[in-house]
Structure 1
């Protein structure tokens, strides 16, 4: 079953809102204007010990750290590397410094990198070096790089507030960033106008990494949507904060209220709040709670989230347009709802990966399913459908961007995305887009250690441990901004 694309629900009485785009999905532009009506909202009471030097931090268990800290390798980049070009307003001084898009993979930075992260609507990135140092590059208008002054950085720059910490995870939203250290502590920086930095207030910009207002069990994973954030604690609890507009926080509310007859506002979550209710819906609309004891993984799209629990069941919530939630309908879901397809078909979900307006799931048997819409137009998958072209491949890594997808499988890298693309598929100067999965011939035989996609660029970490691997990687061009 498929459907034509759906626009977000119209907002009654929002005449004076700042020309808010209705989750436009077609253009995920990295806008600079305020996207929500912001009103004075009282700061939350910071939890005792917040940021206090006396607040002792202990390292996460070694066995857990071994699974979270990945081996390091050579970083590659390809795609749109003019970070300011994705914005609505291109600064005058940028027009004279434009780089051509990279249509094939290029080596980038001499640092050995164990983690490279961007986001489906992000034009900035985080890399973590072999030593655990966080470095950022890309757009920095809101301080999302954690580096002051707020100027675009062409080359990876060490984040000053985190030099003495071992960073093991990161996530990039549209204009904000989360960092996770080996003590299970989260730091945030960037745009905070919707509370997405989780520091307990609506200070517009957090220019240096600031500890979030949270004192629960240690955190083991962080994720970002466009203007919201999700964190997973060591006991399997999910917590969310930021913009609640489509229910993407999972707290059974979209946070809307009318300040006046025509002024629609939101109650933002400025500190992490635990998601406590998970449900399933029958065909006749009957709603029943689902007992979820532990969430083990999750992924955030532009305005939706999908999570997996310890029983390998998948739950989704947030904006329902294009079927990205996998429920065969386009309704927004305000709390996590069980995706029946994977439950009834006895297909346990191994991993989940969300793009802007679609979701990808890898099952226990290694099959890759897609639901939602990855193209800018045309039909959408209203429920999970297998990607037949990858049947039989052993998938190791998956990355989902704005409208493009890249996976590593066996000894190959495979990518696809319909035009317009910016080189993020890595297919070369002649084949710039592909609606069907296509092998990236230049990367044949390269051992992939990590993959991530941004708004229009791809980051890939390749193993470079043996002389043969090093020799092969040295045949690639180097990107020098």
Structure 2
């Protein structure tokens, strides 16, 4: 069975403050580049940018498209395996104020089911490679959430962690079709193209026009443009796509992951470095390609079809099956054969050939995936920082011949729905998220079939909406699982 050369776990991976090879930012555009960025880069070092020139996106009502996004068609049950101590996930120890939870929650090494969800039909389940909270959408478009909740990212109006899924009452009147999880924040997309956000907002990642510690109840983002059709979250930033294929970003710009040709750094009082965050959705105005000799050319006519975010990097798939990446460049996760951060979306050359385009994109914490239109799975970046980085997209040989239907990444583990099977891999330490079962190996650096799911058709692992919102396939079909216990779907 599949063999994979890369696997990943590193404490803080994409958030590392030190840069690979001690490099620091080079400008992506020199002053004599021939494009006019309009206000795209009016940032001055030494003081924050004034936001006066940045108005919320607004489109007159008579010009707005009328759309109705479809809920995923799948009717399935939620299966769960992995770590269950929410406050420990991604941390060395439970915070002092949560000391009561220190010894709670065993790891689930095989699939389990929540008893409280016996009658709930699930169509889509979502978490994220940075997240310790999870959500699912029912077949009626209702949104449920559970997990860590320090910043109100569960949307229940409080900061109590939840051991089992609970309906988000504040969104009960809406039909939710898609959702995305950041480290401590959440975006939810309704059928009419509106986006609600909740959770941490210290860096403007909720897009509500301000910076606050936490927003505990879902509120609309500050946007009145064309209806939105896609949402994605990085650790502390967010991306949305409108029905015309325009991409907007907001939140923390630290590594250029917002795509506005800046990392937003300025020197505040006492020589402290701070970031000029984008507090409302701002359109990503330019896409580029670089030639081998470093020449930069704009790429016209980019109509965005899908977007995926790692901790601090972003991938986009456009209508011509091209892939663009930008943000934090460490460990090769951008696929440009170098570790330099990219401030604007840059074309990944491998997929820019007739017949060799991409059909799906996925982002892990410090890595990226694309499924080519021929069906091959490509990987770049790292899943294990103690191993060599993959600096450009390489075919995952172990999965040649498998039809990849969907893929999800935790911090370091990967799980794939392929043909009728489920395949996973990840290095030690793991916490059961590979699903191999109590008596089986706990980790694997090579791709293995998840035998505990034999006979169960998995529609979608838990952290990515399918790239075509009109025909989202999610959740899972069939049944057969072990008793109920809470767990983390990462």
TM-score bracket relative to the smaller structure: 0.7 to 0.9
Give CA-to-partner distance per residue, 1:111-150, whole Å, 9 cap, x none: 1111110010100011111111111100000011111221
| Contact 2:254-2:275 at 8 Å conserved across structures | yes
C-alpha distance 225-184 of structure 1, shift in aligned 2 (>3 A): same
| Contact 2:355-2:373 at 8 Å conserved across structures | no
Equivalent runs, 1:276-315 vs 2, <5 Å: 276-315=285-324
d(CA) in 2 for partners of 1:427, 1:47: 48
1:142 partnered with 2:143: no
| Contact 1:307-1:315 at 8 Å conserved across structures | yes
d(CA) in 1 for partners of 2:19, 2:84: 23
2:99 to 74, 92, 109: 92
C-alpha distance 192-281 of structure 1, shift in aligned 2 (>3 A): same
| Contact 2:67-2:192 at 8 Å conserved across structures | no
1:397 to 399, 406, 411: 406
Q: How many residues align?
A: 432
Equivalent runs, 1:424-435 vs 2, <5 Å: 424-429=433-438, 430-435=440-445
Asked which structure has the greater RCO (Cα within 8 Å, sep 6+), the reply is 2
d(CA) in 2 for partners of 1:154, 1:60: 39
Give CA-to-partner distance per residue, 1:196-249, whole Å, 9 cap, x none: 000000122111101000111101110000000000111101100000000000
Shift of 1:61: 3.4
1:80 partnered with 2:80: no
Equivalent runs, 1:71-470 vs 2, <5 Å: 71-86=74-89, 87-90=91-94, 91-96=98-103, 98-108=104-114, 109-110=117-118, 111-260=120-269, 262-344=271-353, 346-429=355-438, 430-453=440-463, 461-463=475-477, 469=478
Shift of 1:449: 1.8
In structure 1, runs of 5+ residues without a counterpart are: 8-19, 26-38, 455-459, 464-468
1:478 to 456, 460, 484: 484
| Contact 1:173-1:226 at 8 Å conserved across structures | yes
d(CA) in 1 for partners of 2:217, 2:430: 33
231-240 or 109-118, larger mean C-alpha shift: 109-118
d(CA) in 2 for partners of 1:103, 1:268: 40
Shift of 1:401: 1.7
C-alpha distance 358-335 of structure 1, shift in aligned 2 (>3 A): same
d(CA) in 1 for partners of 2:420, 2:369: 21
C-alpha distance 448-205 of structure 1, shift in aligned 2 (>3 A): same
1:22 to 17, 24, 30: 17
Give CA-to-partner distance per residue, 1:300-335, whole Å, 9 cap, x none: 000000111100010000000000000000000000
d(CA) in 2 for partners of 1:431, 1:154: 27
Over the residues paired in the alignment, what is the CA RMSD in angstroms? 2.8
What secondary structure sits across from 2:78 in the alignment?
strand
What secondary structure sits across from 1:161 in the alignment?
helix
d(CA) in 2 for partners of 1:165, 1:118: 20
Return the TM-score normalized by structure 1.
0.84
| Contact 2:113-2:481 at 8 Å conserved across structures | no
What secondary structure sits across from 1:341 in the alignment?
helix
d(CA) in 2 for partners of 1:479, 1:238: 39
What is the match of residue 42 of structure 2? Answer: none
| Contact 1:43-1:202 at 8 Å conserved across structures | no
What secondary structure sits across from 1:257 in the alignment?
strand
d(CA) in 2 for partners of 1:24, 1:277: 26
d(CA) in 2 for partners of 1:252, 1:297: 21
Shift of 1:263: 1.1
388-397 or 340-349, larger mean C-alpha shift: 340-349
d(CA) in 1 for partners of 2:204, 2:385: 29
Give CA-to-partner distance per residue, 1:389-430, whole Å, 9 cap, x none: 110011111112211111111111000011111111101122
d(CA) in 2 for partners of 1:71, 1:372: 32
Shift of 1:478: 2.5
d(CA) in 1 for partners of 2:380, 2:279: 31
